[in-house]
Chain A
Amino acid sequence: MNRVFDIALAAGTALLAGFFLLLAAGLLLTMIETAPAAGVSGPRILSVLRVSLLSATVSAALATGLGIPTAYLLSRKDFFGKTALDTLLDLPLVLSPVAVGAMLLIFFSTGFGRRLDGLFGPFVLSPRGIIVAQFVIVVGLAVRLLKAAFDGVDREYENISRTLGLGPGATMLRVVLPISRRGVLAAFLLVWGRALGEFGATVTLVGATPFRTETAATAIHLSLESGDLAGGLFFVAILLAVSMTILYLVRKI
């Protein structure tokens, strides 16, 4: 009976692993067979990489930085509305990114949104919008991951720091963040990777203008839409390589 169960588990896992291996093999074989990318010029590649890396880095840094206070609050305090806040932060993880992009588009057409757009923008159909779209999509994930990192820090360290004369702010900076630094770094990397691959909300808010708002994810979409299989494959390979590197680094931290 146990043996049957073990075989069932192994078979399910093998099926899953095999599917992913087939995906990777398919990509590799197609790349070998396809002629060198005709539609992807050097300057366009550089522009896509610049836009992608810059926006993902800024949005991941903002999401991690701004997520720290909320994550710490959720990890340490009980307060009225905690469950509601928790649920709200999960929303972008579950909601379709296109819907999030549409909500942003609508928001920036309201009076307050337009004022923000005037002050810090422009966001709609402009490169800065990429950062906003990615930020909204990943900030919930950032808070989740950071909260888990803070949950792993024994509160006794904070108690001791306080009795040694440090206030709550200094304790956060000198004790909690240094002890949880690995978890915070891992959170940043994962969030950065998620931001880099963001497509739905970005394309809805800023469109996909080559040399202006085109990220690696939108480049894949544009290339395949225009029948440029080689160009699409090129960006798929780039995203795949970056994702694998991030996952490797997160495990090494």
Chain B
Amino acid sequence: MSVRIKNLTKTYGDQVVLDNVSFEVGKSEILGFLGPNGAGKTTTMKIITGALFPDSGEVVVSGFDVFNNVTEVKKRVGYLAEHNPLYSDMYIKEFLLFIAGVYGIDDKNAKVKELIELTGLTKEQNKKINQLSKGYKQRVGLAQVLLNDPEVLILDEPTTGLDPNQLKEIRALIKSTGKDKTVIFSTHIMQEVQALCDRVIILNDGKIVVDDRIESLGDNVVTKTKSVFVQFDEIFDIDDLMKLDTIKAANAIEAGIIKLDGDDDYMMRKEIFSFAKTNDYTILSMFKEDIDVENIFSKLTH
């Protein structure tokens, strides 16, 4: 296991930020960290990086304990903080060389050059950091994090505030650089979790409410009822649909779209299609409800 966390507890005064949190992340696994603001995501991440110490619990990263071997942990972890703090009056190259110096990298220039290319900063490399757009700053943040080839990559909301194109690029960058690394990242964008992660942990009030693989997430959490949305060209009585075997409920929602509930969406769709065929109706659209992380998230954290 690359990261092992056991009974992690952290309090600030009376406020319990993390309450007995335990989980493990394996090698080359991408873990999505979800939860409302203030759930303890950032605190957990900071603890794994060694920037913050917990009150109690065990945190082991690549075999090194954060309490006894924090320097070894830091050498193996790359952490991109939420607000991506950078020395804004430094030049990109100057900044990266400085961080490389902090890491004690032997061939600083070659390594910095390699990362500038990898993160697509070649054109901007002679600019000052405060002249860069948010997307490019994020790249500098990522380059800085990747300088020491970390085994564990921790990214705190790396895509917040980026435009759709930058979002795509940064995601691609995370995916490509995270191939042989353990990646833990937090986000509020649910599609991102579905696109990037193997596994999801949802935190709420300092406790883990879900820890599951992304494929099986829906089965375990969401109710078994499946929904199909269908739109017909013709107008007819909705009760006609209720006569179908697999459909348990039918409700008209906005703009002529009917929501149908049942147990098995595959059988439902088949039956709806033959229903349309026998009655000579035209189906304009039909789609099933995606069990998305967003729904699960709001169900669990409200």
A and B physically associate:
no
Q: Which B residues contact A (CB, under 8 angstroms)? A: none
Q: Which A residues contact B (CB, under 8 angstroms)? A: none
